[in-house]
C-alpha cells in the first residue's frame, strides 16, 4: 500500500513555499497526499515569530498523538530550528525535527526509520540544489523563494536566529524555476524573502531579477515580499515605473511611527526616511497600494509613541496592514529590556490600531469603486456561483461570472466596497470600451 503524507503550514508565505517543496520531495519518494487525520506521516511546518504561533504546534502534536493510528510526526520550520531536541523532550511522540535549511534531508531521515532524530544544521550546500524539479501547481499563482535569512537583527525578532544570515539564490536557478512554474500554469509569481529586497547575486539585485523574470513569456503578474525600508533602493523603485507585470502593490513594514521606538527596535530607518521612500515610490507608480506591519506594546512604548504609530497609518493611507502585540522571544535583546507594557494596555492599543487600519483600508477600497481592472480568480466564494479573485492592488474581489473558473484572469468593474473586499461586475468582451481597447 502507498504510504501517505500531510504537511500543515503555520506562519508566513515562505513556509507555504517550503511546505510545497516538502510535498514534492515526499511525492518523489513515493508518498501520496492525504488528510491530516489519516496520513502516515504528518509534517508540521512551524512558525516561531510570536509565542502563540509556537504554542499552537504543541496542541497539534497532542491531537495527532490521540489518533487511533498515531502517524510519524515531523516538526519542520522555525520552531524546529529554535527548539531542536527540546521539542522531543517536551513531546516524545515527535519522530523527526528538521530545520528550515535541512528539510531536503527529510526523506533520508524517514527512511532511517528511527525515533527522535534531529537535523537542524545550516549546511553549506543549499537545500535548493538538492530539491526535485517543480511539478504541477494548484491555481495560477505561485510563490518563489529567492532569498532567505536576515542580517538586520531588529531587537524584537527571532528570524536572524532561526533562519540564519541573508543568503540569495543564484539568479540563473531562479529564472529556470520561474520558467518551470510558468510552464506548470502559473501566470502570477510572488518572489519571497525574509528581506527580499536585500537580494543580491553578484551584480544582480532584486530589480535586475524582476526585470529578467518579467521578460519570460506567459507571465502576467509579478509581486515580491517582504521588503525592508533600508533596502528600498532607487533601482527597485524604478522597476515599479518600468515593468508592466509588476503589480502596483508594496508591503513595506515600518513597525512603529515613533523614531524613539524605531531606534530601540534597531530598525535603521526613521519615520521621515520611510515616508520619503513612499513619496519616491508614488512618483514612480502613482496608483501603488501600500501595506505594512506594526508592533504595539514594544518595551517602553508610551502613549505618545503609540499616537505616532496611529498617525503614520492615517498619513500613509494603507490599503491593508498587519498589526501584532509585541511578543517577547527568548534570546532576543528586547525580551531583556525594561518597561514591558502590561497586557491590557497592549490589547487596547491593538484594538485602536486595528480600527484605524480598517478605516484606512475601507477608504482605499471605496476610492477603487468605479475602476475597471483585471482580477485573477483564486478561490470559490460562499454563495452559489461566486468566485473570488485578486485585483492588481491585492484586494479580494467577489464576482459572479458564468463560465469563468479558478485560475482565469477576467476583467471587472469594481462596484461596491467593504473594509476587506470589493464586489466586481464582469465586463463582457463585447463591451464597447473593452472591444475598442
Ligand atoms: N523582514 C520583515 C521586516 O523587516 O519588516 C518582517 C518579517 S517578520 C517574519 C513579520 C512581522 O512579524 C514583522 O514585520 C513584525 O511586525 C512581526 N514580528 C516579528 N517579531 C515579533 C515579535 N517578537 N512580536 C510581535 N510581532 C513580531
Ligand atoms: Fe526580523 Fe525583518 Fe527585522 Fe530581519 S528585518 S530582524 S526579519 S523584522
Query: Average pLDDT by consecutive 10-residue portion of the chain (437 residues)?
Result: 95 94 94 96 95 89 94 96 93 95 93 84 77 81 94 96 92 96 95 96 98 97 97 97 98 98 97 98 98 98 98 98 96 96 98 98 98 96 94 98 94 96 90 63
Our answer on whether the CB atom of 150 is closer than 6 Å to any ligand 2 atom is: yes
Angstrom distance (rounded) from CA 144 to CA 209: 12
Q: What separation in angstroms does the CA of 209 have from each of 214, 218, 235?
A: 8, 17, 11
Nearest CA to ligand 2 atom 1: 157
Q: Ligand 1: distance of its center to the CA of 222 in Å?
A: 23
Ligand 1: atom nearest CA of 327 is 24
The sign of the dihedral angle between the CA atoms of 62, 67, 68, 74 is negative
Cell matching residue 431: 463591451
Alpha-carbon span 119 to 102, nearest angstrom: 7
Question: Which grid coordinates belong to 347?
Answer: 490589547
Instruction: For ligand 2, say whether the CB of 160 is within 6 Å of any of its atoms.
Output: yes
Tally Cβ neighbours within 10 Å of residue 404: 17
Give yes or no for residue 78 CB within 6 A of ligand 2.
Answer: no
Give the Å distance between the CA of 46 and the centre of ligand 2: 17
Ligand 2 within 6 A of CB of 25 = no
| Cα–ligand 2 centroid distance for 228 (angstroms) | 8
Q: How far is the CA of 385 from the centre of ligand 1 (A)?
A: 38
DSSP 131: S
Q: How far is the CA of 49 from the centre of ligand 1 (A)?
A: 7
**Cα pseudo-dihedral 85, 91, 94, 97, rounded to 10:** -30
Which atom of ligand 1 is closest in space to residue 322's alpha carbon?
16
What pLDDT does 258 receive? Answer: 98
Residue 143 pLDDT? 94
Query: How far does residue 324's CA lie from ligand 1's centre (Å)?
Result: 8
pLDDT computed for residue 307 by the predictor? 98
**What's the 127 CA to ligand 2 centre distance in angstroms?**
22
Instruction: Report CA(78)–ligand 1 centroid distance (Å).
Output: 14
Residue corresponding to grid cell 485578486: 390
Q: Quote the pLDDT of residue 429.
A: 72
| 348: alpha, beta or left? (left if phi > 0; alpha if psi -120 to 50) | alpha
pTM of the model: 0.94
Our answer on whether the CB atom of 267 is closer than 6 Å to any ligand 2 atom is: no
SS3 content of the chain, % helix, strand, coil (to 5): 40, 25, 40
Question: Can you read off the three cell numbers belonging to residue 70?
Answer: 498515531
For ligand 1, pick from 49, 231, 309, 320 the residue to mutate: most ligand atoms within 8 Å of CB.
49
251 within ligand 2 shell (Cβ under 6 A): no
Whose grid coordinates read 476610492?
A: 367
pLDDT at 126: 77
**Which ligand minimizes its atom distance to the CA of 78?**
1
Per residue in 179-213, pLDDT (tens digit) is: 999 999 999 999 999 999 999 999 999 999 999 99
At which residue does the C-alpha cell 452559489 appear?
384
The Cβ-side half-sphere exposure at 99, using a 13 Å CA radius, reads 21
Amino acid at each position: 500500500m502507498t504510504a501517505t503524507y500531510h504537511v500543515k503550514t503555520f506562519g508566513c508565505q515562505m513556509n507555504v513555499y517550503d511546505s510545497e517543496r516538502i510535498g514534492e520531495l515526499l511525492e518523489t519518494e513515493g508518498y501520496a497526499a492525504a488528510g491530516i487525520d489519516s496520513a502516515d506521516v504528518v509534517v508540521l511546518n512551524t512558525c516561531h515569530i510570536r509565542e502563540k504561533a509556537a504554542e499552537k504546534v504543541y496542541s497539534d502534536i497532542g491531537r495527532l498523538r490521540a489518533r487511533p493510528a498515531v502517524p510519524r510526526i515531523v516538526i519542520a520550520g522555525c520552531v524546529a530550528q529554535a527548539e531542536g531536541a527540546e521539542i522531543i523532550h517536551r513531546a516524545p511522540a515527535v519522530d523527526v525535527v528538521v530545520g528550515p535549511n535541512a528539510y531536503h534531508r527529510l526523506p533520508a531521515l524517514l527512511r532511517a526509520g528511527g525515533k527522535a532524530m534531529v537535523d537542524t544544521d545550516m549546511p553549506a550546500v543549499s537545500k535548493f540544489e538538492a530539491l526535485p524539479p517543480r511539478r504541477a501547481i494548484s491555481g495560477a499563482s505561485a510563490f518563489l523563494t529567492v532569498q532567505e535569512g536576515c542580517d538586520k537583527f531588529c531587537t524584537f525578532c527571532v528570524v536572524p536566529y532561526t533562519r540564519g544570515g541573508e543568503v540569495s539564490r543564484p539568479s540563473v536557478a531562479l529564472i529556470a524555476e520561474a520558467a518551470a512554474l510558468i510552464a506548470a500554469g502559473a501566470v502570477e509569481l510572488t518572489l519571497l524573502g525574509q528581506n527580499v529586497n536585500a537580494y543580491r547575486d553578484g551584480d544582480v539585485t532584486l530589480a535586475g531579477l524582476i526585470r529578467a523574470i518579467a521578460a519570460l513569456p506567459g507571465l502576467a503578474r509579478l509581486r515580491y515580499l517582504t521588503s525592508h525600508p533600508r533596502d528600498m533602493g532607487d533601482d527597485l523603485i524604478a522597476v515599479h515605473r518600468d515593468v508592466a507585470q509588476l503589480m502596483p502593490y508594496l508591503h513595506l513594514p515600518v513597525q512603529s511611527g515613533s523614531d524613539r521606538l524605531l531606534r530601540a527596535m534597531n530598525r535603521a530607518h526613521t519615520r521621515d526616511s520611510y515616508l520619503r521612500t513612499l513619496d519616491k515610490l508614488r512618483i514612480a507608480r502613482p496608483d501603488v497600494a501600500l501595506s505594512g506591519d506594526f508592533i504595539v506594546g514594544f518595551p517602553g512604548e508610551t502613549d505618545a509613541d503609540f499616537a505616532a504609530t496611529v498617525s503614520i497609518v492615517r498619513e500613509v493611507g494603507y490599503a491593508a496592514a498587519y498589526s501584532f502585540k509585541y511578543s517577547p522571544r527568548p534570546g532576543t535583546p528586547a525580551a531583556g529590556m525594561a518597561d514591558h507594557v502590561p497586557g491590557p494596555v497592549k490589547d487596547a492599543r491593538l484594538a485602536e490600531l486595528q480600527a484605524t487600519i480598517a478605516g484606512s483600508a475601507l477608504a482605499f477600497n471605496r476610492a477603487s469603486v468605479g475602476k475597471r481592472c483585471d482580477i485573477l480568480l483564486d478561490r470559490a466564494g460562499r454563495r452559489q456561483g461566486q468566485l473570488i479573485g485578486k485585483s492588481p492592488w491585492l484586494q479580494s474581489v467577489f464576482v459572479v461570472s458564468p463560465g469563468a473558473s479558478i485560475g482565469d484572469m477576467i476583467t471587472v468593474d469594481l462596484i461596491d466596497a467593504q473594509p476587506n473586499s470589493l464586489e466586481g461586475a464582469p465586463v463582457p468582451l463585447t463591451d464597447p470600451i473593452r472591444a475598442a481597447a
